[in-house]
Chains A and B, each alone.
Chain A
């Protein structure tokens, strides 16, 4: 299996936050939200648009958080590129937060950094917790090569940048 990641469809997302809480419930993180949702309203009455963004870790292929961590608490899983934080090694340095172009890492109640683990305890082939609950099917997970046809069909493009986030975005 190659690099694994996401499709996210801004057009479909209704900003309902079901993914936020499904993730928090599955992973037992209470109010530390690994998948926050933002709502952006633009335009002038009556020509208004709202866009909603549900933003997990992008599991970047060249993750700056990994390079920034001074105690090497972050690693990239060889099988699929999922970026994980070792809670035992982490000292809460927060350098990963500053390095991440997307502001993903969260500080947990014990002062350690935590983030999306791509539901690492769910086997392949099962939907991720966020994906499972989404009522608009705005979230798709999987091996990037395998989900690329779906991305193309929905008009999604791979998000660019030197970190190489594993994310196709439908705008």
Chain B
């Protein structure tokens, strides 16, 4: 009785509404949606049924209909007149001020002293073109160092691809390392696939010190010693190589560096017996899992922040991807798929004569992180406060709130307060916006148009039609960039009479027209597997690299090594603090939603009862977490599903004054306890490099 034919039309009729295609932007996985609007109000939303995302939708997206009506949203351009005090100004005044400051800073310091940061990237291509091609700064960056910096560099070095996705549904053996696929509650369309695989009898092995939702559905939970996944993965690799369980024809034809890898594993003796005391996983288990993984096909070994949150996460992640490569589990059905992109074009063309020349290397290169896939944001304060590697004078923060999301909060606030010019582009007056010279109201994802890559396995373009008008004077980013560009001599290039004009340019190379994409909300190309058989990969050798030739060129070890995490618990600070997500909220963005706050109004720390008992701590108590850097008070929940010696905080809450009345004073922000520890090659942030002591308050 699950009939989806005509479902949208029926729902339209039932709600007396009109359906327009949309894109959800609560989390970065952008589920295509159907938005039902009646008399200017959104009355229902659901996942787009016709896209291969299978109508995916989560609680966060479902509750987001609150966003276009939230009276506490930023609605007008605001200029800071004193710390914490803002006055409303017109858009014209805001654009004039930005143009004036950008011109002055360029003359005095050079355009590269201006940095642009985004978290989720709605329409950011407009800002990218303007800043990099018109203004002349190379420093257009995202949030990857806080998110998947290690994973990104690992997959780039092994597969030459920035974003492999997961064909769970057709897989028979899935091993997840520090990726809580079902509990983080993002990329729901992939979770649908994982659930389907489990229904069909696929085996799931889950490696994590915490018993998460994903652990609860796994056949085996490996409660590994935190930050030691690299050792276990190297030991599994050793077994697969020594017992000749690798796919020999595949490795011979498509992989580079097998002989070097084998010699390296032998020389270091990365055996399961070596790994056992490090990981606290029995050697026999490591042997068995290696054999199972190598002989059950198709298989997936995957990782995400759980490994990247340690300073040793890059090599650990690379090794997990090497497990796939050695066993021939690459870009096939039931494997990690090297996602093919839709042939989308830029909405804006800058003629060669008007292109700015970029004079200095991008910040990440000048900082000494040439292979970093994105800016190592923990090193940005040095550039602002000490001019190293070169001065940064102005930062744009679009849809990003580093005053809350970055560790070493005190240093980040110091940096924000030292900037010569700062602009926040956001839907709320966030903690970061509150420190900026200008806060500009961006239109929410129901109030703007968007055409971009979808994240399904094959080529996919997704499109959003504005469902309701922007709230107050909020503007979509393309209108904000246009206002600045017009005042800086690029009005000709940033010209359109409606969003369809630039949208038509973006989809110009698709075999369908804009009207088709508008009607469906998406376009999908054919899904192709094993593309490496036709086209060399984006690695220096064109092959899958077990030996990272790009690393060797920069003087880094091209083979993965084991290193301990930088921070270790000790007698003074006996617990490791790890970070995880709330499934009902999305990071720092949904805490002004009263529906979601009714479900989960505060975050908490999770602790094993056998750790709590000697400290006199009971379930529901308030405790003080103290690291060498700082302290915070938070409520505790005791659970058996936590490795002793480890405590885990749900990230996202703890708003002081900003972001409205709903979250004010609720929850605890623990980032001030975490010091700066980054991976030396990728610059990825080590959020779990944190030791704490705990006492009841």
A residues sitting closer than 8 Å to B (CB atoms) are: 12, 14-18, 20-22, 24-26, 28, 30-31, 41, 43-46, 48-50, 121-127, 131-133, 135-137, 141-142, 146-147
Task: Indicate which residue in B58, B65, B584, B599 contacts A25 across the interface (CB closer than 8 Å).
Answer: B65
Q: Which of B71-79, B99-107, B213-221 is near enough to bind chain A? A: B213-221
Chain A residues near B213 (CB, 8 Å)? 14-16, 50
Give per-residue flags for B275-300: 1 if the beta carbon is below 8 A from chain A beta carbons, else 0: 00000000000000000000000000
What 9 new A-B contacts, CB under 8 Å, besides A14-B213, A135-B191?
A: A15-B213, A16-B59, A17-B59, A45-B644, A46-B221, A48-B640, A123-B10, A133-B57, A133-B62
Chain A residues near B629 (CB, 8 Å)? none
Of chain B, the residue at the smallest CB distance from A22 is B62
Of chain B, the residue at the smallest CB distance from A32 is B598
Q: Is the CB of B3 within 8 A of A126?
A: yes
CA distance A137 to B197 in the complex (A): 12
Chain A residues near B46 (CB, 8 Å)? 22, 132-133
Q: Is the CB of B59 within 8 A of A41?
A: no
Chain A residues near B543 (CB, 8 Å)? none
Q: Which of B182-190, B373-381, B421-429 is near enough to bind chain A? A: B182-190
B45 within 8 A of A: yes
Chain B residues near A125 (CB, 8 Å)? 1, 3
CA distance A132 to B34 in the complex (A): 13
Q: Which of B43, B185, B644 has the most CB of A within 10 A?
A: B185
Chain A residues near B595 (CB, 8 Å)? 21, 24, 30-31
Q: Is the CB of A127 within 8 A of B1?
A: yes
Q: How many A-B contacts if CB must be within 8 Å?
A: 115
Of chain A, the residue at the smallest CB distance from B2 is A127
Of chain A, the residue at the smallest CB distance from B600 is A17
Q: Is the CB of A131 within 8 A of B2?
A: yes
Q: Give 24 CB contacts A-B under 8 Å.
A: A12-B195, A14-B191, A14-B216, A16-B58, A18-B57, A18-B59, A18-B62, A20-B599, A31-B594, A31-B595, A31-B598, A45-B610, A45-B643, A50-B211, A50-B215, A126-B3, A127-B3, A132-B55, A133-B46, A133-B57, A135-B195, A137-B195, A141-B1, A142-B1
| Shortest Cβ gap from A171 to chain B (Å) | 14
- Once A25-B45, A133-B46, A133-B47 are accepted as A-B contacts, the answer to whether A41 and B182 lie under 8 Å apart by CB is no
CA distance A56 to B1 in the complex (A): 19
Q: Is the CB of B642 within 8 A of A45?
A: yes
| Shortest Cβ gap from B693 to chain A (Å) | 21
Q: Is the CB of B608 within 8 A of A45?
A: yes
Interface residues in B1-51 (C-beta closer than 8 Å to A): 1-3, 7, 10, 14, 43-47
Interface residues in B149-196 (C-beta closer than 8 Å to A): 182-183, 185, 188, 191-192, 195
Q: Is the CB of B195 within 8 A of A136?
A: yes
B residues sitting closer than 8 Å to A (CB atoms) are: 1-3, 7, 10, 14, 43-47, 55-59, 62-63, 65, 182-183, 185, 188, 191-192, 195, 199, 211, 213, 215-217, 221, 223, 583-584, 594-595, 598-599, 608, 610, 639-644
Of chain B, the residue at the smallest CB distance from A36 is B599
Chain B residues near A146 (CB, 8 Å)? 1
Q: Which of A123, A131, A132, A142 has the most CB of B within 10 A?
A: A132
| Shortest Cβ gap from B166 to chain A (Å) | 14
- Once A21-B63, A26-B44, A50-B216 are accepted as A-B contacts, the answer to whether A41 and B641 lie under 8 Å apart by CB is yes
CA distance A86 to B488 in the complex (A): 63
Chain B residues near A12 (CB, 8 Å)? 195, 199
Q: Is the CB of A14 within 8 A of B183?
A: yes
Chain B residues near A26 (CB, 8 Å)? 44
| Shortest Cβ gap from B33 to chain A (Å) | 11
Chain B residues near A127 (CB, 8 Å)? 1-3, 7
| Shortest Cβ gap from B530 to chain A (Å) | 28
Task: Indicate which residue in B56, B195, B216, B594 contacts A49 across the interface (CB closer than 8 Å).
Answer: B216
Chain B residues near A133 (CB, 8 Å)? 46-47, 55, 57, 62
- Once A12-B195, A31-B595 are accepted as A-B contacts, the answer to whether A46 and B223 lie under 8 Å apart by CB is yes
Chain A residues near B3 (CB, 8 Å)? 125-127
| Shortest Cβ gap from A34 to chain B (Å) | 13
Q: Is the CB of B640 within 8 A of A41?
A: yes
- Once A12-B195, A126-B3, A133-B46 are accepted as A-B contacts, the answer to whether A17 and B10 lie under 8 Å apart by CB is no
8 nearest A-B residue pairs (beta carbon) = A50-B216, A21-B62, A136-B195, A48-B641, A17-B59, A31-B598, A45-B640, A21-B59
Of chain B, the residue at the smallest CB distance from A31 is B598
Q: Is the CB of B641 within 8 A of A45?
A: yes
| Shortest Cβ gap from A146 to chain B (Å) | 7
CA distance A125 to B65 in the complex (A): 26
Q: Which of A17, A127, A146 has the most CB of B within 10 A?
A: A17
Chain A residues near B59 (CB, 8 Å)? 16-18, 20-21
Q: Which of A28, A123, A136 has the most CB of B within 10 A?
A: A136
Q: Which of A18, A124, A147 has the most CB of B within 10 A?
A: A18
Q: Is the CB of B65 within 8 A of A126?
A: no
Chain A residues near B223 (CB, 8 Å)? 45-46
Chain B residues near A14 (CB, 8 Å)? 182-183, 191, 195, 213, 216-217
Task: Indicate which residue in A16, A25, A131, A137 contacts B63 across the interface (CB closer than 8 Å).
Answer: A25
